[in-house]
Homo-oligomer: A and B are copies of this chain.
């Protein structure tokens, strides 16, 4: 299964390029990465790049789309397999923490893609599909009485704002320990901020 997947990635030039640019954009930034750089690092020629993605921004768009879909799928799965808003939101935070440790480049790109001057037309992360899914769970929790009645944006921001800041701190190299080490404390704080009692 895994080898099939790996082979598929190596054969598919599109996926090969996306894997490459994720690394390049994360370490140098979008504007410091030239199309020639992408061509050289991925082994795909400039002509093919333009054939597949249209223009340079198209590469960034495709990357964002792919990662956004993956994250949405994970959150949807949690929504379907956990009953209470408490459990759903806790598992979302846990998943975000896990992703930060196993794929820091992905988290970094997702958190900051919209604010990095490229992808001008993309909606900010907080109105993106993954965040919308999470917001819906918070709304349900308010209806069920798990979460105190309040503005939905305030509740969602309060619940996930702390965890997100911790993730950013970890990505910035401020926290030395893996995020699992902080999970219980972080989630306890987050849930207290909105819990009904």
Contacts and interface: CB of A to CB of B under 8 A. Distances in A.
Interface of A: 29-32, 112, 115-117, 120, 124, 126-127, 150-151, 153-155, 157-166, 168-169, 172, 174-175, 182, 185-186, 189-190, 192-194
Copies of this chain, whole number: 2
A150 B185 contact: yes
A55 to B, nearest CB: 15
Question: Is the contact region of chain A dominated by helix, strand, or loop, or is it mixed?
Answer: helix
Q: Which 10 A-B pairs have the closest CB atoms?
A: A161-B161, A29-B117, A157-B165, A161-B165, A158-B189, A161-B162, A158-B162, A193-B193, A124-B172, A189-B193
Contacts of A174: 124, 126-127, 153
Contacts of A190: 158, 193
A181 to B, nearest CB: 9
Given A112-B112, A151-B185, 5 more contacts: A116-B117, A153-B174, A158-B162, A161-B164, A161-B166
Contact of A186 (B32, B158, B186): B158
Given A154-B182, A186-B158, A165 B115 contact: no
Contacts of A127: 172, 174
Contacts of A175: 153
Contact of A161 (B126, B163, B192): B163
B117 A165 contact: no
A57 to B, nearest CB: 12
